[in-house]
Structure formats: C-alpha cells, structure tokens
Amino acid sequence: MSPERPISPKNRWSMTAVCVTAAVFVVAALLGFVFLPYAQAGVKPSSLWDTICAAAGVPRQSSAAEPVTPDFKTSAVVMTVATLGRPSPESIGRGATLAHQCAICHGPTGISRADSPNLAGQFIGAIYKQLEDFKSGARTNAVMSPLVVNLSEQDMRDLAAYYAYLPRLPAYHPTQASPAPLIVTNGAPLRGIAPCGSCHGGLENKPGSPWLEGQSPAYIKAQLQAFATGQRRNDVSQQMRNIARALTPQEIDQAADYYSSQPPEFSSAN
C-alpha cells in the first residue's frame, strides 16, 4: 500500500482536481461578475459592488445612478391646513362671482345637467387640487385647461370655497332598489383594492379625493377608464391608476351606477 497521502502536492490526481476546480471558479466569476453584467443593455457598472449587484439581480445603490423622472407632468399639489380650513365669507363671495363663467357646464347652483361633474358641496381640497392640476398641466382637458390659465392661487381657493359652501345632492340609495356593491363597501382586498368609500366619502375621506355621490355615471366611468389607460395621471403615487387597472368592467359599471343614484325629484328635473 502506498504511503502517499490522498491530498498532497505529490499526488497528481488531487492536484489535478484542485486546479480544475480553481479554473472553473475563475471562469464562472469572470462570466458572472464581468462579462454578463456588461453584456446587459443599459447597464454600466461603475464599481465592483455594482457589478456584483448586477450579477445577483438586486437593486444597486450607486452614487452615479440618475433618478428616474416621468416624461409627463405630475401633480405637485400639497394639502395644508390653510387649503383644507374653513373659508371666510369674503372668499366665498369672491368665488361666487368667479363661478359665473363655470355655470354653463357645472350649472348655476353647482349641479350639472351636461354630464360634467357636480361641484355643489364638493370637498374644498378636491376642487382646489383639480384646478391646480389643470393649471399646471398635470391634468388636461380641452375646456378646463384654457379656463384656468389666468386663475391666481387666491382665485382657485375662492372658487373651491364657494362650491364647497353650496348644498350637495343628498345620498340616495334605497336598499331594495340599489344595494351597495361590494367594490364600494368592501373593495377587493385580494387585488389590493380598497373600498371606494374609504377615500371618497361615506366611510371616510382622503384629502384631495372628491365626493362621488350624485355624479354623472358617464363622468365616473370616463374618469375610471382614463385612469386605467393612463390617459389621466394626476393621482398621487398612481393610487387611482393602480386601482382602476385592477377593476373589471362590471365593477366600474356597478360603482358608477351606485354613486349616480339620485332622488326622484332631481331625476325628474333632468
């Protein structure tokens, strides 16, 4: 029996195995940490750590990385105590004067007869935000965009104050005739959809989110579809776009029909 140890520089088989293993490791390291990261389109590692992160498929924290900016204007409205606070009588009066130019679409009392949104009793923050977004270009509309160009910051606050002061349409939901759909009351938790009422009144209101009761079904459907397709993008952090994309056509119809339910006396007036 040979006294030679299994792992020894003199054992050619063990040395051959060590050399082959080392060669495989070096080739794999070169392929994984050098060749493949640089071969990826748009990837330019600036350090060894960037190269390792790129090979491992994890986000890189590189000082040379540039922030990603959207190619469209986003809403920059910030809700403050002044924005959401109780307006003065003078502000409401100025808003009433300014609102004359809005009456043709939104009605003389803030109740539209033309599938434009009802503004009477709307949350003050919601009106202010939309006016600001129309002016900045974060939201666009062939009619609204030209009308708000010359409005000052105070003008927009006054208009929001006036319309928020007007009495809104009462919620009208007879249980037997139009039971609340689950998407409104419960949402769809497994798809990451919160109840509509948790942001838009009824259950709770998120600052800047509109009151939906009594709105035109055509308007509600059009806005949900615009969010879903990305045509409208002035929601903060893509909240409405993410929700609208997850909604089914049936859920959109159910939500629009539920919120557009109106008292008989108002329906007959239309």
Q: With DSSP H G I counted as helix, E B as strand and the rest as coil, what are the percentages for the chain, rounded to 5?
A: 50, 0, 45
What's the mean pLDDT in 61-73? 68
Cβ count near 226 (within 10 Å): 16
Cβ count near 175 (within 10 Å): 7
Predicted local distance difference test score (pLDDT) of residue 51: 61
Least confident interval from 11-20, 89-98, 213-222, 247-256: 11-20
Least confident interval from 20-24, 56-60, 97-101: 56-60
Please tell me the distance from the alpha carbon of residue 240 to that of residue 138, in angstroms, as a whole number: 14
CA distances from 259 to 66, 141, 229, 246, 250 (A): 44, 23, 22, 19, 14
Residue 204 has pLDDT above 90, yes or no: no
Backbone angles phi, psi at 188, to 5 degrees: -140, 80
Start-to-end Cα distance in the chain? 108
- 3-state secondary structure (DSSP) of residue 9: coil
Please tell me the distance from the alpha carbon of residue 35 to that of residue 30, in angstroms, as a whole number: 6
Which pLDDT band, with edges at 50, 70 and 90, does 264 fall under?
A: low
Predicted local distance difference test score (pLDDT) of residue 37: 59
Residue 149 has pLDDT above 60, yes or no: yes
Please tell me the distance from the alpha carbon of residue 61 to that of residue 113, in angstroms, as a whole number: 54
Least confident interval from 8-12, 120-124, 229-233, 254-258: 8-12
Q: What is the pLDDT of residues 17-26, one digit of tens each?
A: 778 888 888 8
Say if residues 246 and 188 touch (Cβ distance below 8 Å): yes
**Fold matches, 81-165 and 182-269:** yes
Which pLDDT band, with edges at 50, 70 and 90, does 178 fall under?
A: low
- Please work out, in degrees rounded to the nearest 5, the angle formed at the alpha carbon of residue 105 by the alpha carbons of 117 and 270: 75
Say if residues 270 and 113 touch (Cβ distance below 8 Å): yes
Distant-in-sequence, close-in-space partners of 209: CB < 8 Å, separation ≥ 6: 123, 126, 199, 200, 201
Predicted local distance difference test score (pLDDT) of residue 71: 82
Predicted local distance difference test score (pLDDT) of residue 179: 77
What class is the 182-269 domain?
mainly alpha
What's the mean pLDDT in 144-162? 96
What's the sign of the alpha-carbon dihedral 147, 222, 251, 133?
A: negative
Length of the chain: 270
Q: What does the domain layout of the chain look like in residue ranges?
A: 12-54, 81-165, 182-269
Please tell me the distance from the alpha carbon of residue 178 to that of residue 258, in angstroms, as a whole number: 7
Residue 69 has pLDDT above 80, yes or no: no
Q: Which residue has the higher pLDDT, 90 or 70?
A: 90
Which of these, 90, 95, 103, lies nearest to 159 by C-alpha position? 95
Which of these, 134, 133, 151, 152, lies nearest to 143 by C-alpha position? 134
What class is the 81-165 domain?
mainly alpha
Q: Which residue has the higher pLDDT, 204 or 138?
A: 138
Residue 4 has pLDDT above 60, yes or no: no
Task: Determine the distance from the C-alpha atom of residue 140 to the mean position of all C-alpha atoms in its chain, rounded to a whole number.
Answer: 16
Which pLDDT band, with edges at 50, 70 and 90, does 52 fall under?
A: low
Cβ count near 94 (within 10 Å): 19
Please tell me the distance from the alpha carbon of residue 135 to that of residue 234, in angstroms, as a whole number: 12
